[in-house]
Amino acid sequence: MKNEEKIKQSLEKQFSDKIEVEARSKQKLWAKVDANISHDVIKYMFDELKFQYLATITGTEEGDNFEVLYHLQADEHSILCTLRAVLPIKKPDLKTITDIIPGAIWYERELVDMFGINVIGLPKGNRYPLPDGWPKDVHPLRKNLTQEELSKYPKEGK
Amino acid sequence: MPKITVPLGPQHPALKEPGSFMLSLEGEEIKDAVLRLGYNHRGVEKAAEARNYVQNIYLLERVCGICSHAHATAYVHNVEEIAQLEVPQRAKAIRMIVGELERLHSHLLWLGVAGHEIGFDTLFMYSWRDRELVLDALEEISGNRVHYSMNSIGGVRRDMSNEQIKKVLGILKTLEKRIKYYITVGTEESTILARTQGVGVLPKDEALKRCATGPQGRASGVDRDVRRDNPYLLYDKVDFKVITQDSCDVFGRLVVRALEMVESCKILKQVLENMPSGDIAVKAPIKIGPGEAVNRYEAPRGEDIHYLKANGTDVPARVKVRAPTLANFESVAYMLEGDTLADAPLIIAAIDPCFSCTDRMSLVQTGTGKSGIMSFKELRAYSIEEYKKKGIDFSKL
Amino acid sequence: MEIIKELIIGLFYIIVFPGLLFLVIYGGLSEWLDRKFYAQMQNRQGPPWYQPFADIIKLMSKQVIIPKAADKKMFKILPFIAIAAINTSIFMIPIFSNSALYGFRGDIIAVIYLLSIPTATLFLIGWSSTSPYATIGSMRVLTQLFAYEVPLLIAVLGPCILAGSWSIEDVAVFFTNNPWLMLVNIIGFLVAIVALQGKLERVPFDIPHAETEIVGGVFTEYSGRLYGFMRLALDMEMVVVAALINAVFLGGSFGYSGWIGLLLFVIKTEFVVFLLSVLKAAMARVKINQMVDFCWKWLAPFAILQILICIVARFMING
């Protein structure tokens, strides 16, 4: 757990009380920050802590908040750090990380389509994964979207 | 020379599953590629939230037809981590055997598809014939050829008898010979070399930036393999090499996959010859959690990552699946630009794409608000309109 | 009466033998053999003998869809032009015996020209279909034509120089009388076989309709009867070129005629088909630029070398 502790300490030193870091098991770190500094944290991790790889981004809904989970990996010792960025559902603004790691683009588009998170600075392009005709305000992975809710919308070909 | 826009997909002989690549051509050279995904959205993640933990094993197995064991195993790892179950060694070994056989069958399938994309149908027929051997072995172990359904929470569902072990070892012996032959063909046949070398180049720094994974990344010198870096199952007890190549092209990917098959055979032999004894499963609770877990699994196509959030009930609160194709997809546009149209199918095939893995969700088609069944004319008008937006005019046809 | 009799005989030549009917039947059987060889080499069963005919019959009964933007007249007429050109060329090639139906001095040049008409129709077919796949296909057809045609022509001229005649009949008779001299042409024979692979658009040179790249290539928009005729034309072309290779490189019927001549013809043309199948099974499709490079860097020089060998051999024969 030595390497995990090292990363934990340097993260806590840099962001002091704004970040909660926990080394739960071997090679796995869990961190929690507010969405408005998540970009800075990821930038710091990539620039200073030798993180190189973004495995994916998971969106979840927890009470009144969205939680966006960045699964980041440092190739050295292969440590997987799950960085949790918390943002309110009422104002779901998130800064894009495509300027740090371009490979994030598809995962961020998924956040936009599936949760309605407003990713600021996302490069223009096709939607993913929903089709162009899909209504802009319906987000399939939101907990409040049930089958009954969906059936209110007119189906294609009906 | 005027530019021609060629739609490669969503329906195209080169693609076994729908995905769209709009290629702007100048002569034969690709100047620009616009990618589009999402044609295969089935709503797996949303559906998983409405099913219990056992049902979800079978649902997630159906995320992909080829790496079905990979998805199911990654999922049960998560459940077992949250429920703090200690899986018996023998169950781990059986999971590993199925996983490695699956890798063999996926790589042989890829070899055939790659051969077909470059018009080498003989290679396609041969490698798929030998893939049958692997499927026979899988059928022997699990009773199924494709969706093995071996996993249960806390272990596996079927044990392996000594006869089965002997039979699989026999199949491996034949396979090893055949794989050696394919390595010779793939690395020496002059037309294959002409078609693969220097095609679809993805330098290491680009591969890192675009988060390439699996054989795609390893062929660009990105030395990552979850089996070695973050060993799960019994991978820390077996001896194998992680294959990397520095050529960064399709040829490198071919070599990586071919040599990985040899390594898989090596792993399989070690496990089959030293099968641990004991139970094959422990009892699992129905209600799991609360808690969360994230686990990775080295699927044949690259790293699979699953996230699971449990809230103490018998259904999960959130299941997230990221299949390797989505991670590798961002590199495709980069690799296509500057190559010729003839290379495009091979470059796309070289990431071993599995779009149905990648797109996992879609519920109801909404939006146009039209009533009645679409007639052919309407459908045609609709498609012409759609393609006009993409810059191709089919209205005169 | 005399005129009517001649007319009937003429029609018999055109429609039955050695014209349309013979070409269709023998073309279908050759296609079957080709597919069977190919399948056996790939560890497969292969189709039954009537498969090519069943395919054609099925296609004939299907609806023809012509794209609105296509040039309708051209679209409909082009397959028949291809068939007509191939049908004409068989009259100048000896089949069961060493004499052709309408042989004349210089007919070898005429045959080569007639055989490039189907290729030209392929280009026009793609161009008049106006779909992006067909357009790219037709550009590839033309590029490929300029690559393989020169080596093929030079390779076929070798035996003519050796025999000292520009008539296919005379070449066949020459090799019948001097069978050992066929060995002189071995390089030219191989060059011709490879170039034919380009002419017949088969792997490794099936670039104009590479299905994984441009769907059906020039045929993308073709359907039903018209597509059936186009496939028929390609089958017939295979027979004609096999017959040409037989007459020019393999000594025709060795002076036999009748049943033995027929047997020799079948064995030798199917041997050519077999060679074409081996090439098809053993290789991957190359790219168009690689194909052009190969034709000009390797095939053309070897064909010229063959011509030089033939000229030297000619002087040695004449002493």
DSSP code per residue over B222-233: ----HHHHS--T
The four Cα atoms B171, B172, B177, B180 give a dihedral, to 10 degrees, of 140
Return d(Cα B371, Cα B147) in angstroms, integer. 39
For residue A106, give the nearest of B43, B330, B364 by CB distance. B330
Tell me, yes or no, whether chains B and A touch by having 3 or more C-beta pairs under 8 A: yes
- Contacts with B, C 109-138, CB within 8 Å: 130-133, 135-136
Cβ within 8 Å, pair B366-A104? no
For residue B342, give the nearest of C67, C210, C283 by CB distance. C210
- Contacts with B, A 78-107, CB within 8 Å: 78, 80, 82, 101-107
Q: Examine the pLDDT at C77 and tell me if it is beyond 60.
A: yes
Cβ(A111)–Cβ(A59) below 8 Å: yes
φ/ψ region of B198 (left if φ > 0, alpha if ψ in -120 to 50, else beta) reads: left
pLDDT tens for each residue of C236-273: 888 888 888 888 888 777 777 778 888 888 888 888 88
Within C129-187, strands assigned E span none
Q: Which letter does DSSP use for residue C62 in this model?
A: S
Q: Give the pLDDT of residue B370.
A: 42
Distances (CA, A) of B64 to B60, B310, B357: 8, 23, 5
Q: Which residue of A has its CA nearest to B364?
A: A155
Domains of chain B, by residue range, sit at 3-39+359-389, 44-354
- Residue A115 burial (10 A CB sphere; 0-12, 13-18, 19+): buried
pLDDT tens for each residue of A94-128: 888 888 888 888 888 888 888 888 888 888 877 77
Estimate to the nearest angstrom the gap between the alpha carbon of C308 and the chain centroid.
Answer: 26
Q: Give the pLDDT of residue B395.
A: 65
Chains touching B, CB cut-off 8 Å, 3+ pairs:
A, C
| Lowest mean per-residue pLDDT among A3-12, A44-53, B361-370, C29-38 | B361-370
Average pLDDT over residues C103-129: 86
Banded model confidence at residue B366, pLDDT cuts 50, 70, 90: very low
Q: Give the pLDDT of residue B242.
A: 87
B209 in reach of chain A (CB within 8 A) = yes
| Lowest mean per-residue pLDDT among B42-56, B92-106, B240-254 | B42-56
CATH 2.40.110.10 describes domain A2-151: no
B4 CB neighbours in chain C (<8 A) are 132, 135-136
C260's tokens: 């033995």
- How much is the mean pLDDT over chain B? 82
φ/ψ region of C265 (left if φ > 0, alpha if ψ in -120 to 50, else beta) reads: alpha
Sign of CA dihedral B17, B328, B339, C196: negative
Q: How many CB atoms lie within 10 A of CB C54?
A: 12
Banded model confidence at residue B394, pLDDT cuts 50, 70, 90: low
Banded model confidence at residue B42, pLDDT cuts 50, 70, 90: confident
Q: Give the pLDDT of residue B368.
A: 41
Distances (CA, A) of B206 to A50, A103, B199, B248: 16, 10, 15, 10
Q: Give the pLDDT of residue B20.
A: 81
Q: Which letter does DSSP use for residue C296 in this model?
A: I
A105's tokens: 């683009």
B129 CB neighbours in chain C (<8 A) are 43
B33 CB neighbours in chain A (<8 A) are none
Average pLDDT over residues C68-87: 86
* CATH number listed for the domain at residues B44-354: 1.10.645.10
pLDDT tens for each residue of A42-87: 888 888 888 888 888 888 888 888 888 888 888 777 888 888 888 8
Partners of A84 in the β-ladder = A32, A69
Banded model confidence at residue A93, pLDDT cuts 50, 70, 90: confident
Banded model confidence at residue B233, pLDDT cuts 50, 70, 90: confident
Average pLDDT over residues C133-140: 86
| Lowest mean per-residue pLDDT among A137-141, B201-205, C225-229 | A137-141
Sign of CA dihedral A124, A125, A127, A131: positive
Return d(Cα C214, Cα C141) in angstroms, integer. 13
Q: Examine the pLDDT at C149 and tell me if it is beyond 80.
A: yes
Tell me the helix, strand and coil percentages in chain A, rounded to 5: 35, 35, 35
ipTM greater than 0.95, yes or no?
Answer: no
| Lowest mean per-residue pLDDT among A126-135, B102-111, C6-15, C102-111 | A126-135
B191 in reach of chain C (CB within 8 A) = yes
Cβ within 8 Å, pair A133-B296? no
Domains of chain A, by residue range, sit at 2-151
Q: Examine the pLDDT at B369 and tell me if it is beyond 70.
A: no
Which single residue is written with the structure tokens 């769907």? C215
Cβ within 8 Å, pair A153-B35? no
Q: Give the pLDDT of residue B364.
A: 37
- Contacts with B, A 24-83, CB within 8 Å: 27-28, 52-56, 58, 60-61, 69, 71, 75, 78, 80, 82
DSSP code per residue over A14-58: HHGGG-EEEEEETTEEEEEEEHHHHHHHHHHHHHTS-EEEEEEEE
Contacting residues for A49 by C-beta, under 8 A, at least 6 apart: A7, A10, A11, A74
C255 in reach of chain B (CB within 8 A) = no
Distance between start and end Cα atoms, chain C:
53
pLDDT tens for each residue of A18-32: 888 787 777 888 888
Distances (CA, A) of B295 to A57, B230, B315, C277: 13, 10, 19, 50
Banded model confidence at residue B374, pLDDT cuts 50, 70, 90: low
Average pLDDT over residues C13-29: 83
Cβ within 8 Å, pair B365-A133? yes
**B124 phi and psi, to 5 degrees?**
-60, -50
Q: Give the pLDDT of residue A157.
A: 46
- How much is the mean pLDDT over chain C? 85
